[in-house]
Amino acid sequence: MAATAEKTTDRSRYSRVAIILHWAIAGLIIFNLAIGFVMEGFPPPVRFPMVLVHVSSGMTVLALTVVRLIWWMTHEPPPHLVSLKFWEHRLARTAHVLLYVAMVGMPLTGWAIVSAHPRPGSAGAAEQARVRPNTIPGRPAGASQPVPGAPTVAQATPGAPGAETTAMSGAPGAPAAATGAPPRREIKLWGFIPFSSIKPVQDIGETAGGYEPQHELHEEFVGWHSIGAYLLLLVLGMHIAGALKHQYIDKEPELQRMGVGGRDKKV
């Protein structure tokens, strides 16, 4: 009964920290997938807070994944259930590696999207206002003039309050220079943690000539982020199906390994 002997050892359960990190990251990612696919369909007053929550949750996934990877390097995970067939073992491993790629890749591409906007007050921001005015909050789609009564350029001058903030397309913080758009609000994760753009990506749009290449890059990042989301859904489906198969068809204590259910005699 080698298999039973393997299964009854404490080593068949992930450590408490690994379990907490797994479910925290899983919850945030599932939340971000759900909110990500619907947020663009909402009008700006609802969309902006949704995007901010999406950004906050996604950056938290990145931070927790770094902790998870450090934990993983310093704490050996439990061996796979010995009852797994060779192909199941390989498939589970592959799914875990791909999930880790997504846990890092999704936040990074999202961060790159948000960073691929000209800095407020830069020549690139003025160029954006000229060629794509309807991407600027405070200006109705198609308008070529600032909204009457909207704050003036002075409010978006570099160094002025709110000028050195991170840009986000169609969200608080999008370029306002020379546009008459409302002053930019600084992005804070969960409302209080400072957030910066990826500087080399933001710097591309510093000049008027840099704005278009930066916009193309922005579209690329949006494409990667979107494809990544669909691939993640696919791998996640596989991961969940595998876990449920082992639990309910093979009747193995699979979910208990990840802390679901009591520590029964098999785990």
User: Which lies closer to ligand HEM via its Cβ, residue 130 or residue 245?
Assistant: 245
User: Which lies closer to ligand HEM via its Cβ, residue 41 or residue 159?
Assistant: 41
Give the pair of three-digit tokens for residue 134.
């309807």
User: Which lies closer to ligand HEM via its Cβ, residue 93 or residue 145?
Assistant: 93
User: Which lies closer to ligand HEM via its Cβ, residue 149 or residue 191?
Assistant: 191
User: Which lies closer to ligand HEM via its Cβ, residue 209 or residue 260?
Assistant: 260
For the beta carbon of residue 240, count every other beta carbon within 10 angstroms: 12
CB of 240 to ligand HEM, least distance (A): 4
Q: Do 188 and 194 touch, CB atoms closer than 8 A?
A: yes
CA nearest 120: which of 137, 107, 108?
137
CB of 145 to ligand HEM, least distance (A): 25
CB of 220 to ligand HEM, least distance (A): 12
CB of 59 to ligand HEM, least distance (A): 5
Q: What is the amino acid identity at position 76?
A: E
CB of 122 to ligand HEM, least distance (A): 20
Give the pair of three-digit tokens for residue 178.
């020379």
CB of 6 to ligand HEM, least distance (A): 12
CB of 96 to ligand HEM, least distance (A): 4
**DSSP-assigned beta bridge partners for residue 194:** 188
Q: Do 28 and 61 touch, CB atoms closer than 8 A?
A: yes
CA nearest 199: which of 175, 162, 166?
166
User: Which lies closer to ligand HEM via its Cβ, residue 125 or residue 243?
Assistant: 243
For the beta carbon of residue 106, count every other beta carbon within 10 angstroms: 24
Print the SS3 string covering 133-155: HHHCCCCCCCCCCCCCCCCCHHH
Residues that bind ligand HEM (CB under 6 A): 18, 22, 25-26, 29-30, 32-33, 36-37, 40, 51, 54-55, 58-59, 61, 72, 80, 96, 99-100, 103, 106-107, 110-111, 113-114, 169, 222, 225-226, 229, 236, 239-240, 243-244, 254-255, 257-258
User: Which lies closer to ligand HEM via its Cβ, residue 17 or residue 145?
Assistant: 17
Q: What would the DSSP string read from start to end of 186-232?
A: PPEETTTEE----HHHHHGGGSHHHHHHHHHHHHHHHHHHHHHHHHH
Cα→Cα distances 151→55, 119, 126, Å: 27, 18, 15
Q: Hey, is 80 helix, strand or coil?
A: coil
